[in-house]
Amino acid sequence: VHDIGKNIVGVVLGCNNYETIDLGVMVPCEKILETAEREQVDIVGLSGLITPSLDEMAHVAAEMQRTGMHLPLLIGGATTSAKHTAVKIAPLYQSATVHVLDASRSAGVVERLLNPKLREEFESENRQQQAKLVESFQRRRQIKLVPYRDAVAHRFRTDWDSVEIARPAFIGRQELHDLPLATLMPYIDWSPFFAAWELRGKYPAIFDDPQVGPEARKLFDDAQRMLEQIASQKQLRAEGVYGFWPAAAQGDDIILYADESRHSEAGRIHTLRQQWERPGTEHYYALADFVAPVESGREDFVGAFAVTAGIGTDELARHFERDHDDYNAILVKALSDRLAEAFAEWLHEQARRDWGYGRDEHFTNEDLIKERYRGIRPAPGYGACPDHTEKRGLFELLDATRATGIELTERSAMHPAASVSGWYFAHPAARYFSVDQITHDQVEDYARRKGMPLKDVERWLAPNLGYDPQT
């Protein structure tokens, strides 16, 4: 779904006199292999943004092996890593499988793979490095994961008799249509924008960097002109929906009630709990820890949101692509991403005010970027909530597709790509954390709570499994 990095790779390779065949996004394995054979390509490349794409990459590698291919396979994208490629993908395919860290390195990798004098040495170095990464992974698998019941016993605890629980100004959902882009621009975090173009540095200090500063300034100026054009001509549209629901924790689930009578459920959030015993570990967190349990008798609440600034992005990018203007096509998508994240930041500020505890906030944009405010907005598929399928319940609760135009793919990716969704937690001690690796006993319990087959849950949580699932 998210193709900025892939497109930059295409531009880099094109500038180095290589021909690329860009099949687009969400491409089935069969189409990739059929095209590779028909066009007699030299290399196949795969890019992925969210964790379910990792499983799809492994499937493509296995199919390349099954069908007898011998083409080098390049792996890249935000969720990929050299270690994951070595451990999960390379063993499925006997020919060269290479992780490429960023677009700027793609031309060098391709050159060594296509040069008969360089390829053998490069592949040997790659195999040796991957063997070391597999060994490192196996050592890490020896880390101590406490049994799930022990992690629950050492959960983060709150004195629910005394903790402050904020009450939202309304219950239910509210829609935000065609929000002016000018409202969002002051909330843009520019550092990730430069990172997308592989210009490393924090904004605005990046402008003083002797190596990348001049290019960063030029890129920023182009972005400002593009933003002004997009806003004045209304070429992109920002749509959102958010709301609050009465809530209560029940074990590691969070019940969301339809109204304040708390008689009927509107949905559930199924949370996962940390199990990795690190030095000094005191608590094993789950998001359910930040919501008052049913038995506490306290009335608590949870919020939810989904926003996009990507309505119109694909059409505008295609306009530039028809003019062979790859630079502005990529620029539009990168700015759409930044506007979507800015929308999420702006709306969280609004939600904190609606919730009462944020009415006296006076934060700068830097304060917001550093998350100095109370409360968190974890997103399904990341860190504290690594299961992307939890987006389905979130979207149903918000009626998000009808309200915003954001759709979920079969892999639970959001389209348009410039979209953000998640939950709001207001607990004074709420914090971000990473679930990391988990054991079979927790996965079994989680599958039972979700009503999903164990094998399906293991597939969705594959990067988090602290064990090898049975085939």
- Identify the bridge partners of residue 237 per DSSP, sorted by sequence position: 311
* Cis upstream peptide for 116 (omega within 30°): no
Confidence of residue 142 (pLDDT cuts 50, 70, 90): low
- DSSP E strands in 82-199: the ranges are 97-99, 172-176
Cα–Cα distance measured from residue 109 to residue 119, given in angstroms and rounded to the nearest whole number:
10
Confidence of residue 137 (pLDDT cuts 50, 70, 90): confident
CB-count burial class (<10 Å; 0-12, 13-18, 19+) for 225: exposed
Q: Does the pLDDT value for residue 117 go beyond 70?
A: yes
Burial 33-56 (b: 16+ CB within 10 A, else e): beebeeeeeebbbbbbbbbbbbeb
* Cis upstream peptide for 416 (omega within 30°): yes
pLDDT digits (tens, 9 = 90+) for 347-368: 999 999 999 999 989 899 888 8
Q: What is the mean pLDDT of the chain?
A: 95
Parallel, antiparallel, or unpaired: how do β-strands 407-408 and 97-99 relate? unpaired
What's the predicted TM-score (pTM) here? 0.93
pLDDT, mean of residues 138-155: 89
Q: Does the pLDDT value for residue 391 go beyond 80?
A: yes
Confidence of residue 316 (pLDDT cuts 50, 70, 90): very high
Residue 383 has phi, psi (to 5 degrees) of 45, -100
